[in-house]
Chains A and B, each alone.
Chain A
Amino acid sequence: MDSTTQALTILIILTAFAVSLIVTQFIRRRKDAFPLRPLPAYAAIPLFVGEAIEAGRPMHVSFGGAGLGGSNTALTLANAELFYQVAQRNLAGTTILTVSDPSALPLGYGTLRRALANRRVTASRTQLSNGVRWYPAGARTLVFAAALTGVLGDDRVSGNVLVGSFGPEIALVLETAARRRQSTIAGSIDLDGQAVAYAMADHALIGEEMFVAGAYLGDSAIQRGSVVALDVLRWLLIAGILIATVNSIREPVAAALSRLLSGG
């Protein structure tokens, strides 16, 4: 890593750290200090869970191919928070959590166990092992998608939250869900999967929206603080891109203007 990249990385980390910390303190004093922009996908989750409880059918949440230890680690942790919020709201019903990467299994167990423990419901071993399911992806994730279509039918799922790493094969799952009139929220770190999710899911989560479930569904000040930090970083990035663009076109534009003014 060269020194410029090192300096930039440290600068970004420090900025995010400082903004998160400062904003969190403000939010702890006044909860509405930094209002969040509405995201329909998160607004729909309580409704989907309510429908599942009323129908006596399970909610299905899935990490897809996201797991711990690789480039998707942060996404997996953020998704665990989203699935925790879904499972906690769905304590009167059943939540099925499916994973394809085995490294997400312990996190899945932990997520469901914590959700159940939070309402003083003892998580039995059977509840947990039935709730968390591993479907190996094989050479391609198509097998995982095929397995999910089976889960949707066999378990008579009411709603699906598919947020993690999915390829275009998520189309199979979303098509099955649509055919069975099951509600869907989907988002993927893979751009092909993201495009399919946008077209086919009832609500889509795009890009960084997948990382902010804790701020929208929970009440933690640090989660809200990290959303503000994300916004600040985004505006800094936009400013950086604009400055770089202006810098690169300044000389040719100046030359063209001077030619124009001198009548050339």
Chain B
Amino acid sequence: MIRRLGTTVATAIAIGVGLLSIWGLLSGSGVVFNITNVMLQLVVITVAVTILIGILNLFGVHIRRITRRSGGWVYSIALVISAAAVLILWLLGERETNNMLLETVQVSVESALAGLVVFALVYGAYRLMRRRVTWSAVLFTVVLLIVLLGALPLPQAGLLRQARDWLMAVPVSAGARGILLGIALATVVTGIRVLVGQDRSYRE
């Protein structure tokens, strides 16, 4: 009974705040607009609090892995020690050491990973053709080859470069816009479903 009441109150608050926010954002000024801004600031504060939940989750999951000797527990030790070190350094006010660690460790690792992405992509294109040869897969691979070859700095690749420029300017741009328009419409429809209190997070 109390749970159902809680759900109803949560739904009512979500609908009320949602409608108020739309009104405020569409009006662009006035009292409702100011209320909307305050609510958006509250969202920012709430999101900041979730970082604390995240840190607790991170330590909880990996300490449990270590104590249970789950697969990859050695990596979990490295993760817990690194996270604790960063937190302690931050608490001690050692911002420079923290930044140095970020620059020398994380950025280097990320750059190495970025290099790996290229190989993963090439393997992906190969796998696409090996798995199933369909018209869309052939088209995808041909376009990919034209774009890659057209990017080569060779004097003989002039025609390919023109084809690449046309592909990027017309079909690729049109397709990208089509996908983005679809996402925008779906966002509106999902927003309405939430506004009328029919999203599962309110219903149950």
Query: Which of chain A's residues have a CB closer than 8 A to the CB of B179?
Result: 191, 194, 206-207
B96 CB to nearest chain A CB (Å): 17
Across the interface, do A174 and B190 meet the contact criterion of CB distance under 8 Å?
Answer: no
User: Which chain A residues (181-209) contact chain B, with CB distance < 8 Å?
Assistant: 189, 191, 194, 196, 198-200, 206-208
- Interface membership of B54, Cβ < 8 A: yes
Query: Which of chain B's residues have a CB closer than 8 A to the CB of A237?
Result: 181, 185
| Chain A count of residues within 8 A CB distance of the other chain | 80
- Interface membership of A93, Cβ < 8 A: no
Query: Which of chain B's residues have a CB closer than 8 A to the CB of A208?
Result: 182-183, 185-186
Contact stretch, chosen from A25-33, A48-56, A135-143, A250-258:
A135-143
- Interface membership of B34, Cβ < 8 A: no
Query: Which of chain A's residues have a CB closer than 8 A to the CB of B114?
Result: 140, 142, 169
- Interface membership of B189, Cβ < 8 A: yes
Given A103-B50, A136-B54, A196-B124, the answer on whether A226 and B192 have CB atoms closer than 8 Å is: yes
Across the interface, do A226 and B189 meet the contact criterion of CB distance under 8 Å?
Answer: yes
The one of A142, A169, A230 in contact with B186, judged by C-beta atoms closer than 8 angstroms, is: A230
Interface size class of B (residues with CB under 8 A): 35 or more
Query: Which of chain B's residues have a CB closer than 8 A to the CB of A210?
Result: 183, 186
Which single residue of chain A is at the shortest CB-CB distance from B72? A154
User: Which chain B residues (81-97) contact chain A, with CB distance < 8 Å?
Assistant: none
- Interface membership of A180, Cβ < 8 A: no
Which A residues lie at the B interface, using CB under 8 A?
1, 6, 9-10, 12-13, 16-17, 20-21, 67-69, 74-75, 77-78, 80-81, 84, 102-103, 105-107, 110-111, 114, 117-118, 126, 129-130, 132-136, 138-140, 142-143, 145-146, 150, 153-156, 168-169, 171-172, 174-175, 178, 189, 191, 194, 196, 198-200, 206-208, 210-212, 214, 220, 222-223, 226, 229-230, 233-234, 237
Q: How far is the CA of A114 from the CA of B203 in the complex (A)?
A: 10
Q: How far is the CA of A234 from the CA of B178 in the complex (A)?
A: 10
A24 CB to nearest chain B CB (Å): 9
Known: A20-B196, A106-B50, A175-B123. 10 other contacts (CB 8 A): A6-B26, A16-B188, A74-B187, A111-B201, A138-B110, A168-B117, A178-B123, A199-B128, A210-B183, A223-B198
Across the interface, do B127 and A178 meet the contact criterion of CB distance under 8 Å?
Answer: yes
Query: Which of chain A's residues have a CB closer than 8 A to the CB of B191?
Result: 74
Across the interface, do A20 and B193 meet the contact criterion of CB distance under 8 Å?
Answer: yes
Query: Which of chain B's residues have a CB closer than 8 A to the CB of A150?
Result: 72, 75
Across the interface, do B54 and A198 meet the contact criterion of CB distance under 8 Å?
Answer: no
B88 CB to nearest chain A CB (Å): 17
Across the interface, do A154 and B110 meet the contact criterion of CB distance under 8 Å?
Answer: no
Query: Which of chain A's residues have a CB closer than 8 A to the CB of B117?
Result: 142, 168-169, 171-172
Across the interface, do A199 and B124 meet the contact criterion of CB distance under 8 Å?
Answer: yes
Q: How far is the CA of A144 from the CA of B58 in the complex (A)?
A: 13
Given A110-B201, A169-B113, A200-B128, the answer on whether A16 and B60 have CB atoms closer than 8 Å is: no
Which B residues lie at the A interface, using CB under 8 A?
22, 25-26, 28, 43-44, 46-47, 50-51, 53-54, 57-58, 60-61, 64, 70-72, 75, 102, 106-107, 109-110, 113-114, 116-117, 120-121, 123-125, 127-128, 140, 176, 178-183, 185-194, 196, 198-201, 204
The one of B51, B70, B106, B120 in contact with A143, judged by C-beta atoms closer than 8 angstroms, is: B106
Q: How far is the CA of A113 from the CA of B192 in the complex (A)?
A: 25
Q: How far is the CA of A54 from the CA of B109 in the complex (A)?
A: 37
Across the interface, do B113 and A68 meet the contact criterion of CB distance under 8 Å?
Answer: no
Given A69-B44, A102-B54, the answer on whether A130 and B128 have CB atoms closer than 8 Å is: no
Query: Which of chain A's residues have a CB closer than 8 A to the CB of B70?
Result: 154
16 contacts between A and B (CB under 8 A): A1-B28, A13-B192, A68-B47, A103-B46, A103-B47, A114-B200, A129-B61, A129-B64, A136-B58, A175-B124, A189-B183, A191-B176, A200-B128, A210-B186, A222-B193, A226-B189
Given A69-B46, A102-B50, the answer on whether A207 and B188 have CB atoms closer than 8 Å is: no
Query: Which of chain B's residues have a CB closer than 8 A to the CB of A68?
Result: 43, 47
Across the interface, do A74 and B186 meet the contact criterion of CB distance under 8 Å?
Answer: yes
The one of A10, A84, A171, A234 in contact with B124, judged by C-beta atoms closer than 8 angstroms, is: A171
